[in-house]
Amino acid sequence: MVRWRQPRFSTLPDDVPYIAGRAATRISLVVPIVICLLLNALFIGRIDNLADHNIKRKWSMLQHLPKQINHLVLGDSVGWTGVLPTELSAALGGSWINLCTTAHMLVPHDAWMLQWYIEHYGPPSEVLVVHAITSWRYGVDDSTYQMVSKVPLPMGFWRSMAAPLPPSSTDLAKVFLNRYVPLYAQNKTVDQMIHKPAKDLVTWILRGPVTPSPIRPSSTDEALGYLSLGNTTNWPEYRRALATWPAMKPFELSAVNRDALLVMMQYSDRYHFPLYLTSGPVSRDILALEPGRRFVAGVHRTMNQLVAGHPYTYYLDDLPPFRAEQMRDEVHVVFPAAKTYTQLLAQRIRAERRRPWR
């Protein structure tokens, strides 16, 4: 039998040197850089996630508003997915549009949109600002500047706004990278795009194809900025989020959101238009917990104190909580409950309209 034996070397083989000239060195450096720049230029705006696309879309809607639309809904994702413009129009009159984006854009973003509207169209008739009960406490973080980079205004626009953000040189670099070097700044989004087809295939095999729900918002609501989260509760997400509430600390309004709210109230005082502030839907299960009740009560108390002395600003509190099956997670509602939530807001706004100015 012939046995194969691994050859043994007493010495390592000699390396063969490769001598590159200046031209070859320049090419090896320049070509990858050019390819990288071209790829980034190609992917600008093409690998944005849903929140990024929504920011750009809402600004485009704001910048091309028909003249008859002068009732604004501003805020974060609980307004984006919970307030139906056609329901407000039917209940309150006027033409409403949903310009809500996402929580980590913070209240200064609402103030920027309001300022832009006033500068280009004049004072609005009414403004409704909706934020999740938990997001009033948010401060600036990395995701804020990532999302600020998606606003289709010139770099540094936030400095000229009445509710400015105070970015450092590091923050400015983040805005630049997210706007102009997406392959570097949005590597997580690229990774999700690569894995999504495989995940969708596995889901299809395990669960079968997902059939669309027959209950859908009107195309008019979708055109006016509303997004439906579907008709069923995401129970794993709901339970995971609810599990964080027993350790919830007492509420404290963040300084950056407080300052922006004061700017918006000053606009309301100056131009005499009603400004309605409200917190998004709340699950009954949150109010069943002592930390949840304490947190929600702290939000209402703080916001009512903030609007005191501003005759055209109202905080809409005491909205009834929602059952678990009406919630997508602990603060977002499913589509059927969005109708209910919008109608409750309309009732409160109608009641405030009847009251004399403070």
Q: What is the mean pLDDT of residues 43-58?
A: 73
Contacts of 354 (CB under 8 A, 6+ apart): none
Which class is domain 41-354?
Answer: alpha beta
The whole-number pLDDT of residue 7 equals 56
Which of 192, 149, 194 has its CA nearest to residue 172? 149
Answer for the pair 88, 346: CB distance below 8 angstroms, yes or no.
yes
Answer for the pair 48, 69: CB distance below 8 angstroms, yes or no.
no
Q: What is the mean pLDDT of residues 299-320?
A: 96
- The more confidently predicted of residues 100 and 25 is 100
Answer for the pair 206, 66: CB distance below 8 angstroms, yes or no.
no
- The C-alpha atoms of residue 5 and residue 16 are separated, in whole angstroms, by 27
Q: Which residue has the tokens 């009954």?
A: 284
Could you give the 3-state DSSP secondary structure of residue 202? helix
Q: What is the mean pLDDT of residues 329-334?
A: 95
Interior/surface letters 302-330, b for 16+ CB within 10 angstroms, e for the rest:
bbeebbeebebbbbbbebebbeeebbbbb
Cα distances (angstroms) measured from residue 227 to each of 52, 101, 114, 335: 14, 10, 21, 9
Q: Is 283's pLDDT higher than 70?
A: yes
The whole-number pLDDT of residue 171 equals 66
Structure tokens at 133: 């009960």
The whole-number pLDDT of residue 149 equals 86
pLDDT band for position 196 (50/70/90)?
A: very low
Domain boundaries, the chain: 41-354
pLDDT band for position 199 (50/70/90)?
A: very low
Q: Is 202's pLDDT higher than 50?
A: no
Q: Is 195's pLDDT higher than 50?
A: no
The whole-number pLDDT of residue 354 equals 86
pLDDT band for position 160 (50/70/90)?
A: confident
Q: How confident is the prediction for the chain on average, in pLDDT?
A: 83
Structure tokens at 319: 């909205």
Q: Is 116's pLDDT higher than 50?
A: yes
Neighbours of 340 (CB within 10 A): 16
Structure tokens at 98: 């949903």
What does the pLDDT look like over 229-266, one tens digit per residue? 999 999 999 999 999 999 999 999 999 999 999 999 99
pLDDT band for position 45 (50/70/90)?
A: very low
Interior/surface letters 60-95, b for 16+ CB within 10 angstroms, e for the rest:
ebbeebeeebbbbbbbbbbbbbbbbbbbbbeebeeb
Alpha-helix residue ranges (DSSP H) falling in the chain: 22-43, 50-63, 77-80, 85-92, 106-121, 142-148, 169-180, 182-185, 187-207, 219-223, 235-242, 255-271, 284-287, 290-307, 335-354
Q: What is the mean pLDDT of residues 338-351?
A: 97
Q: Whats the size of the chain, residue-wise?
A: 358
What does the pLDDT look like over 266-277, one tens digit per residue? 999 999 999 999
pLDDT band for position 10 (50/70/90)?
A: low
pLDDT band for position 290 (50/70/90)?
A: very high
Q: Is 11's pLDDT higher than 80?
A: no
pLDDT band for position 139 (50/70/90)?
A: very high
Answer for the pair 182, 47: CB distance below 8 angstroms, yes or no.
yes
